[in-house]
Amino acid sequence: MTGFASSTAAEQRFNVNLSILFTELPLLERPAAAAAAGFTAVELWWPWVDSPTPAPGELAALKRAIEDAGVRLTGLNLYAGRLPGPDRGALSIPGEESERFRANIEVAADFARSLGCGALNALYGNRVEGVDPAEQDALALENLVLAARAADRIGAVLLIETLNRPESPDYPLVSAAAGVAVVDRVNEATGLGNARFLMDLYHLSMNGEDLPQVISAHAGKTGHVQIADNPGRGAPGTGTLPLEELIGQLREAGYDGWVGLEYKPGDRPSAEAFDWLPAEARAAR
């Protein structure tokens, strides 16, 4: 596996997504495992896939695990059902699922605030057969406005993510331009300016996008970056994406935020899936 040069990696801030890495461990053990691997920052999908409003004791236990590990929570998904898998967000689905998303907004925002987390991520939601797409888009905008206001209340940004068509054929945001257009609509509707694009280089590459062009066009509206190699969604160096070069281009374009490690560890423990990244580059400064 090809690793990042120490000088390149040292200039970037990396965090670990504990919903796709360290999943061989119980949730409450993952923050400490990330810390043991040398990381000081983590992010999470909404951990309670069947509950947008878990019991206070469950929230408190996760908060304590993060604090005891000495890591920082830098990003949290709003409720989106089971990921990865058939569920791809609830905010644009009329009826019960949209209400579940709404019920989660303040719970997630308060949890994020309690840990100083500065980013909430909202997955747009799959298209529903038999429902006018315009109706779904109007509901999505309404719910994203609520989420943006909750994020603003805690001093956070609201991230809007593009997925990829092969793995999420019913998800409507499958290009960088589509994701950024929603960001612009949310900011126009709220006047807050805190909606930002989540640039996932794996998903964009699966859509066949020109990644240097995407960076050039959209780095200024990007609030978070996630990486995995392609093919396979493995660690950098397991596929063909020039991730070190792309991260360098992001820095040159002015992006200085987090890069989330959102890849599968493969047939090995997650702790062994970071050999591409020099140890001294794992602790965010």
pTM of the model: 0.95
| Percent of the chain's residues with pLDDT above 70 | 95
For residue range 186-238, list pLDDT tens digits in order.
999 999 999 999 999 999 999 999 999 999 999 999 999 999 999 999 999 99
Q: Which pLDDT score, from 0 to 100, does residue 22 have?
A: 98
CATH architecture under which domain 15-266 falls: Alpha-Beta Barrel (3.20)
Averaged pLDDT of the chain: 94
For residue range 264-275, list pLDDT tens digits in order.
999 999 999 999
| Three-state secondary structure of the chain | CCCCCHHHHCCCEEEEECCCCCCCCCHHHHHHHHHHCCCCEEEECCCCCCCCCCCHHHHHHHHHHHHHHCCEEEEEECCCCCCCCCCCCCCCCCCHHHHHHHHHHHHHHHHHHHCCCCEEEECCCCCCCCCCHHHHHHHHHHHHHHHHHHHHHCCCEEEEECCCCCCCCCCCCCCHHHHHHHHHHHHHHHCCCCEEEEEEHHHHHHCCCCHHHHHHHHHHHEEEEEECCCCCCCCCCCCCCCHHHHHHHHHHCCCCCEEEECCCCCCCCHHHCCCCCCHHHCCCC
67 is known as an active-site residue? no
Q: Which pLDDT score, from 0 to 100, does residue 95 have?
A: 83
Q: Is the pLDDT at 1 greater than 60, yes or no?
A: no
29 is known as an active-site residue? no
Identified catalytic residue from 43, 97, 161, 209 = 161
Identified catalytic residue from 43, 97, 209, 262 = 262
Q: Which pLDDT score, from 0 to 100, does residue 116 have?
A: 98
